[in-house]
Structure 1
Amino acid sequence: MFLIIVIAGAIAAMWRMSATQTATSSLALQQAQAYQAARAGLEWGIARALTNGLCGENNSSLQVDSFNVLVVCDPFPISSEDGIFDIPEEQKDEVVFYSIVATANYLTPSSPDYAYRRLAAVVEKPVGASSGAPAAEIEGGRE
């Protein structure tokens, strides 16, 4: 009888570890998909800002697979008082910076399958550059 109880306990423990491992793998996959959805939104926002300067008017929301992606684009103010940028005074009118943030989420935070990723980038565009001009500098970050 003792041996049957020990074997049943071992089987129950192995089943529990298997279920936990499966859930962890599934969540890791969803987090990777959330990252890719946020990256797609970030690249879409960068393309909009660089090709036709559509930035700051409104936030854009798009659907990538089953992920909701919110893309926020704001023009960056350039001022020497802020001390953010070290740009010579004569070049301040020659460049525009855009701050772009893409947030991808799946379900709600209370759900066990919730996945969330947020990516941000600062893009620099020369003023008067033709449509589709490449950015002089792109910096991306992950939060």
Structure 2
Amino acid sequence: MMRRADSGFGAIAAIMVLVILAALAGAIVKFGTTQQLSSAQDMQSARAWQAAKAGTEWGLFQAFQPGGIWHAAGACNGAGSAQTLDLGAQTGFRVTVQCNPTLTYAEGESAIGSPRQVRGFQIVATACNSAGSCPDDAAAVTPGYVERVRQVIAFCPVGTGAGDCP
């Protein structure tokens, strides 16, 4: 004969097992979602780096090619020289490219006793997935915002020869 106090113990144990399994399933789903978001952020980061790289390449072209917007003496003047490249259709990113001049200095000799002058350019490209210009401080606090900065410094001889800096 079964006592009345022992009935229902199996139902409580079953409910506890179900609660534990539900908590475990919730943790697995949360972990999977976090992994997916992390992977998407990594992909966006790689795209931003490539967009910034394209910006520095474009900037170097503008500084060193005759006819480039920064090739003329004084055209590479820091913040006033900033240009925005809209690569949204190709990559989803905008790139702000800036040319900063460095000092002209002597490096070696072009002839005996005649120092060779070189001029430097610092090209800074900031790529971001914002609709505005980069960097975008307002969008930086939102999830999904990605920004990468790449800078290069290059030098060219100052003179009157082909390929020289102005």
Q: Please, what TM-score do these two structures have when normalized by structure 2?
A: 0.68
Q: Identity of aligned pairs, percent?
A: 28
**1:70 positional shift:** 0.6
Establish whether residue 31 from structure 1 lines up as the match of residue 31 from structure 2: no
**Higher mean C-alpha displacement, 43-52 vs 55-64:** 55-64
| Alpha-carbon separation, structure 1, partners of 2:54 and 2:161 | 24
1:37 is paired with a residue whose SS is helix
Residue in structure 1 matched with residue 121 of structure 2 by the alignment: 98
Which amino acid in structure 2 is aligned with residue 75 of structure 1? P
2:76 is paired with a residue whose SS is coil
2:121 is paired with a residue whose SS is strand
Residue in structure 1 matched with residue 162 of structure 2 by the alignment: 130
| Alpha-carbon separation, structure 2, partners of 1:129 and 1:26 | 49
Task: Tell me the alpha carbon deviations over residues 103-136 of structure 1, each in whole angstroms, 9 at most, x when there is no partner.
Answer: 11113202100101101111111223425x7xxx
Task: Tell me the alpha carbon deviations over residues 70-103 of structure 1, each in whole angstroms, 9 at most, x when there is no partner.
Answer: 1111221135xxxxxx7358435x3221111111
| Alpha-carbon separation, structure 2, partners of 1:129 and 1:115 | 43
**1:34 positional shift:** 0.5
Pick one of 30, 39, 62 that aligns with 2:85: 62
Query: What is the alpha-carbon root mean square deviation over aligned residues?
Result: 2.2
Task: Tell me the alpha carbon deviations over residues 32-62 of structure 1, each in whole angstroms, 9 at most, x when there is no partner.
Answer: 1100000000000001111021541521111
Q: Aligned pair count?
A: 126
Larger radius of gyration: 2
2:107 is paired with a residue whose SS is coil
| Alpha-carbon separation, structure 2, partners of 1:5 and 1:113 | 34
| Alpha-carbon separation, structure 1, partners of 2:19 and 2:86 | 51
2:162 is paired with a residue whose SS is coil
In structure 2, the gaps of 5 or more residues are: 1-14, 131-138
1:91 is paired with a residue whose SS is strand
